[in-house]
Amino acid sequence: MKPAFIFGTRPEIIKLVPVIRAFERRGVNPFLIHTGQHYDYEMSRVFLEELELDGIDYHLEVGSGTQAEQTGTAMIKIERVLMNERPDVTLVQGDTNTVLAGAISSVKLKIPVAHVEAGLRSLDRTMPEEINRILADHASEVLFAPTEEARKNLEREGITEGVYVVGNTVVDAVLQNSEMAEKKSDVLERFGLKPKEYILITAHRAENTDSRGNLRKLVEILEALPMRTIYPMHPRTRNRLKEFGLWKRISSIENLTITKPLGYLDFLRLEKNAFVIMTDSGGIQEESIILNVPCLTLRYNTERPETVKAGGNVLVGLEKERALGYLRRLMDDKEFYKRMAEAPNPFGDGKAGERIAKILLELHEKGELKVRSSRFI
């Protein structure tokens, strides 16, 4: 069997490595295509090194651009590779432009697509990621849903064949690397941080950073935080802050430390030891509940509603008083903090990668891994 993995961002790398390793343990060596959607060293290459993923077969160097530019360039370059390699299946993960480009390029060449983390829905079609995940799901033959809720989302859209609930590979990644992060990372010492005495924040989503008004609201929240805060900042966010004239203001916040994007082990250790995590990232909402750290999500909706239902995540949007209210409650009410921190992980047992590799190999052996003429036959 010849599987192709297509990825281009840090979350994709993190979540696909467990599947790649599961194939390798079965004697199957997949070939790897890196689109370069995250285009600088800190944003991607350091993750490859830390996760010992050094056998990239194709670096496509797509880089940045508008949504259409990035997706279109990736499609052109991916198609050339797939026409040359002719894999038995293409695996994509998540909801990035790389995922959309990989899925469409593959299915048009009659190469079946397996979508890892299928069925997530925020129900907000203004988000580019929502469009990507919907289109990728409908282009895929095999859909690996992380939860029963994700499976139901697919069912509501008429997708019932080829769907498998396997758990989320983020659990595999966190369980496999959290102990190593504690041993190898010195990030707390470098920044003078003490466990459970700081807030970790990330914000990079277009809806939060492409609007001057929303970015100003984010800065106002940061100015009001009553605890040491560390913010590993996406280059896009940094550029927007400068463009909107907010960089000087955010840089002057006394208890805020802004860093460049960090490696995976550094970031994992920061997450594990934070008092609370504030984020607009979907993957970090998942990681926080796995690591038993309360999460306040800087959005008004989420494609990870399981985290909210479990009690480990609260949607606060960019409403300063709401965010500060929950933060004060976490600081003052030990029982409330305990309930959020001990919310049950809804994403599985850390064996999703093994299940995915096993299912695909079995489908291939049966001759069932192919693009069907219709989902409804």
What the chain holds in terms of domains, given with CATH numbers, is 3-168+349-365 (3.40.50.2000), 186-341 (3.40.50.2000)
Residue % of the chain over a pLDDT of 70: 97
In which band, very low, low, confident or very high, does the pLDDT at 372 lie, cut at 50, 70 and 90? Answer: confident
| pLDDT (mean) for 273-283 | 98
Alpha-carbon span 167 to 18, nearest angstrom: 12
Residue % of the chain over a pLDDT of 90: 89
From 83, 88, 136, select the one nearest 111 (Cα to Cα).
88
In which band, very low, low, confident or very high, does the pLDDT at 308 lie, cut at 50, 70 and 90? Answer: very high
Residue 38 scores a pLDDT above 80? no
| pLDDT (mean) for 45-66 | 87
Tens digits of residue pLDDT in 188-214: 999 999 999 999 999 999 899 999 999
Q: 71, 38 in Cβ contact below 8 A?
A: no
Tens digits of residue pLDDT in 339-359: 999 999 999 999 999 999 999
SS3 91: strand
Tens digits of residue pLDDT in 118-156: 999 999 999 999 999 999 999 999 999 999 999 999 999
Tens digits of residue pLDDT in 220-257: 999 999 999 999 998 889 999 999 999 999 999 999 99
| Mean of all residue pLDDT scores within the chain | 95
Classify strands 276-279 and 256-259 as parallel, antiparallel or unpaired: unpaired
Residue 183 scores a pLDDT above 90? yes
DSSP 192-257: T--TTSSEEEE---HHHHSSHHHHHHHHHHHHH--S-EEEE--HHHHHHHHHTT-HHHHHT-TTEE
The one catalytic residue among 34, 38, 115, 204: 204
| pLDDT (mean) for 9-23 | 95
Residue 377 scores a pLDDT above 50? no
Residue 14 scores a pLDDT above 70? yes
pLDDT of residue 40: 63
| 204: annotated active-site residue | yes
In which band, very low, low, confident or very high, does the pLDDT at 47 lie, cut at 50, 70 and 90? Answer: confident
